[in-house]
Structure formats: C-alpha cells, structure tokens
Structure 1
Amino acid sequence: MKITSTVGRRVFSTIISPLVGLFCLLNVPPNVITITGFVIQATSVYFICDGRLVLAGILILVGGSMDMVDGELARRRGIISKFGAFFDSFFDRYSDTVVLLGFLYYFSTKGEILYTILTGVAIVGAMMVSYARARAEGLGVECKTGVFERTERLLTIVVGALFGGVVLKVAFWILAIGSHLTSVQRFVYVWIKSKD
C-alpha cells in the first residue's frame, strides 16, 4: 500500500496527457524528457543553496513530473525497452541525490546540524529503497512494496520547500523515517518471499 493513491496517479496522468500528446506529435524521444527532468531538478539545487526554496520546490515538482511524462510517452509511442527503463531509473537516482545534497548544503550553512545529519540519513534511505528493489529483482523477486517510494519522497520535499520553516523540517523527518521504513518493508518482503 502506497501513500499516493491510484486515483491520484490517474488524475495526474490526465493532466499531463495533452503534453504527452504534443511530444508524440513532435517525435520527442522519451530519453530526452528524462534528461530534461534531471536538468530541471539539478537546476533547483542552485536555488536551494541560495535559500530560494519556493522556486526550488516548483522546479523539483516540474522536473519530477517529467518522470511520469517519459514513461507515458514511451508507452504511447510503443517504444518501451529494458534500456529505457534502466536509463530512467539511472537518472532518477542522480536527480534524487543532487536535490537532497542541495538541502544538506542548505541546512549546513544555516548551522542546522541535526537537519544536516537527517538529510544524510534521508539520502541513505532513498538509495536503500532503490537498491532493495533492484537487488530483489536481480534475484527474481518483484519488489514494489512499501509506503514511501520516489513519488512520496518528491511530494514531501516539494511541500517542505514551498512552505519552508517548520514544515520543511517536518518534511525531512518524514523523509528520513519513511525511506528507511520502506527499505525495511522491502527487506522483510524479500525475506518472506525467499522462503516460499
């Protein structure tokens, strides 16, 4: 069970549908959209470090949305491939890491030692969530379980950035705890499945 519902995903899919249609007409490769999303999120790091969190939050939201656009574009054009999925996941990991590193720098310059450490914990958690799935699938176990995946992490960061202050700090507690909770969920899931 995930925090973001299937209904929410369908609503968002409906919103981006015209954009996907335009990209189809223009024959834009899905990988170009993937890279665009990464560049947008990487750009947000400058504004995070500069303390302009609202603008950073908007860029993170737009860049993160590209993750749904590229997948839907590939499906509509009938060009889904194993390398395309790998390419998407590869840049997702870089996007996640650079954004969180931006916040790590932001908190460190504010003298917020606790939240600097917490951001580091969140980075490790985010990587472990992805690693757990990749390793499990390498062993032949499909592992999509967990309450706090990439979509949930991005939305939490966006809300924290847009509101700032206490909301941002709460967001990073949620990020750190939620990421590791999901990692543990996946560990337990694979452990149970491996005994079947």
Structure 2
Amino acid sequence: VIKMVMAMRHGTLPRTLHADRPSRHVDWESGAVRLVTETTDWRKDDAPLRCAVSSFGISGTNAHAILEQAPDRPEPAEAPEPALPAGGTLPWILSAAAPAALRDQARNLAAHVTAAAPHPADVGHTLITARSVLEHRAVALGTTAGELTDALTAFADGRSTAQVVSGTADTDGRTVFVFPGQGSQ
C-alpha cells in the first residue's frame, strides 16, 4: 500500500520486482494487462490515478484494497490567531521527574512567557504535544498569560493557589503482547 501511495504521489509506476519471466498462463499479447518491466510515467491525463493492492496471508486471509489519488489540496490560508477554548480557561500542563524539577520548570516557563510574550494558546498546545509526560505533574488554569504566569510563579515559590493542581501519576504500567492469530507468534 505504501509503495503504491508513493507511486501515485510521484506519478511513476515502479517496475515489477521478481518477474523476469512473465507467466505463460496470461495472454500478454491481447493488451488487457501488461507487466511493468521498467519504471514508467503514470500520468496520462488529469484524471485521478487509481490502483489495486492485494495481499494473501499465510493462514488464508486475503485482502484487496483499491486506492485513488487524493485531490490536490488548496493553498492554505493564513493561519488565524489562536483562540482560547470555549469558556475562556486555558490549561498549561507541566511534568517533571522530581518535585523540585517541576517547580523549576514552572519558574522557567513563567520567565520565558513574561520575556517572549507568546500567545497563551500556543504555549498550552506546545506543552501538551511536544513535551515528555513524566511522573510529577501540574496544571495551571487561567484566561490570560498574566494569570497563568502568576499561578506558575506561586507554584514555583511553594505558595498554594487555586489555579494550580499538582500530583503524581502511576508509572507502573505493564507490557502487553497481542497475538493476532495469524501464525506470526
């Protein structure tokens, strides 16, 4: 499937592998089908490219997928200014390996936001999607960057605040093995 998706993306049919001698059980002369013996340009017109991929499993499971080239995406419009979620409260989620490191991270984030002034929604998005999730965690809630940095500073200084909740997460997960029943185990 991946090979054919990439072939559609590049508009090129790759040669058929391991088929140096065509089968004598197929009428190759009629022109209904042909063996691709060398890389070939796939583009003939503006119609979307289509292909079929078959897979035959060792246990008798067969699959057949028909793929069609996706339409061209329009040029993206300029990104809108990030907005606060409905209700206006934005979470900033932090995690660290130790309580002291969590307080340090809160202090450093508050200083960075104060100096660089990024949009609060961008900060929240980055904290949840681009940071490791570790055992010690805290979440600061606020509607403005000022509220959030004040809450982080209070947490970093060890002061109690209603805008920050902290705790630890259980990290004692266990490994799970899944056997699909197709003989691979």
TM-score, normalised relative to structure 1: 0.26
Q: Which has the larger radius of gyration?
A: 2
Q: Looking at both structures, which has the greater relative contact order when contacts are Cα pairs under 8 Å and sequence separation is at least 6?
A: 1
TM-score, normalised relative to structure 2: 0.27
Higher strand share: 2
Higher helix share: 1
